[in-house]
Amino acid sequence: MSIFYAVIGLAILLLAGDALVRGAVNLGLRLGIPALIVSLTVVAFGTSAPELLIAIKAAMAGLPGIAFGNVVGSNTANVLMVLGIPAMLAGISLAGCDTRKTYLQMLGATVVFIGLAFLGPFYILHGIILLALLAAMLTDSFFTARRHRNLANECVPSTDLDEIDEADPEMPGWKIAMFLLLGLIGLPCGADLLVDGAIGVARHFGISEAVIGLTLVAIGTSLPELATTIIAALRRHGDVAIGNVIGSNMFNLLGIMGIASFFGPLAVPPGILAVDIWVMLASTLLLLPFVFGGLNITRSWGALLSATYIGYMVFLLA
């Protein structure tokens, strides 16, 4: 039965990821804003829903290790696995994707999170600080989108809509909303089924719950991002792929841990402070040459990122 749940969850994730990408692309087209901005907000929020639910449950149950391990592990998985696997399948073209500012925001959020982690348990004050930073970043995205929309009203759009499979200028608003709703609901539901199934299988084989939390839960809650990014890569939407990862990582650190802190105090496990939090930072820095060097994430790079993540998993399980 656990294997059945896992398979059904995976199928829901793939279908929901496709729906969310379709909705995001056409929402951006309808509003006259880049798909990157939509992926940094709507898509990122939707694919981070499983992490939010798990973090709140863990905080209320007095299990801070699960909350921190889930967020830190998911951010690492987002860079190494969520970008690595789709890149191996189809490559991720970042041509025309200017993510420098949003990447710096993500890097800044990572540094602030690490600093707060070393100051002791997360309390409501920590949550307020994190949520205030998230609000500032969302406000910046809003004004960026508005400037882009105003510019689009004055200029002829440069995007050739014939090159975008999902772009449909005639798509009605209800259909866009339906795609977004199916994606936002389906992703957390699929992830929940898949994680429950994976945990059931792991327990059947006698794997400890601590290892489950550090590996299966973190990987499972990153599967919505993976499903969305695979679809985006296959459909040549590099902006959606990279925007989803950057937005999800910022929301994980600022939004999820910010909200979970209200259910604290949440003590940071020593092991995460000693190792895992630095692995997360290192994986974030791995994106520097792609963001600022204009490199595409080719199949070779995807294989390297994926191999690095496998090595990290082996280290955790050793």
CA distance 191 to 9: 6
Q: Name the residue range of residue 101's domain.
A: 2-157+169-317
Residue pair 58/70 in contact (Cβ under 8 Å)? The answer is yes
Q: Is the pLDDT of residue 305 over 90?
A: yes
How confident is the model at residue 295, as a pLDDT?
82
* The token pair that represents 214 in the structure block: 């550090």
- In single-letter form, the type of residue at position 60 comes to M
Within a domain: residue 118? yes
Provide CB contacts within 8 A for 193, sequence distance 6+.
5, 6, 8, 9, 12
Mean pLDDT to the nearest integer, 49-78: 80
Residue pair 2/207 in contact (Cβ under 8 Å)? The answer is no
Within a domain: residue 162? no
Q: Is the pLDDT of residue 165 over 50?
A: no
Q: What is the CATH number of the domain that holds 133?
A: 1.20.1420.30
How confident is the model at residue 156, as a pLDDT?
40
How confident is the model at residue 292, as a pLDDT?
87
The total number of structural domains in the chain stands at 1
CA distance 281 to 283: 5
Per-residue pLDDT reduced to its tens digit, 166-182: 556 677 888 888 988 88
CA distance 134 to 140: 10
Highest mean pLDDT out of 15-19, 86-90, 130-134 = 130-134
How confident is the model at residue 17, as a pLDDT?
67
How confident is the model at residue 43, as a pLDDT?
64
- In single-letter form, the type of residue at position 99 comes to T
How confident is the model at residue 161, as a pLDDT?
38
Q: Is the pLDDT of residue 1 over 80?
A: no
Within a domain: residue 262? yes
Within a domain: residue 164? no
Within a domain: residue 252? yes
CA distance 95 to 81: 21
Percent of the chain whose pLDDT exceeds 70:
77
Within a domain: residue 163? no
By residue count, the chain amounts to 318
Mean pLDDT to the nearest integer, 140-164: 54
Provide CB contacts within 8 A for 277, sequence distance 6+.
72, 114, 117
What count of other Cβ atoms lies within 10 Å of the Cβ of residue 262? 16
Within a domain: residue 311? yes
Residue pair 227/220 in contact (Cβ under 8 Å)? The answer is no
Residue pair 108/315 in contact (Cβ under 8 Å)? The answer is no
Within a domain: residue 246? yes
* The token pair that represents 172 in the structure block: 């009605």
How confident is the model at residue 92, as a pLDDT?
83
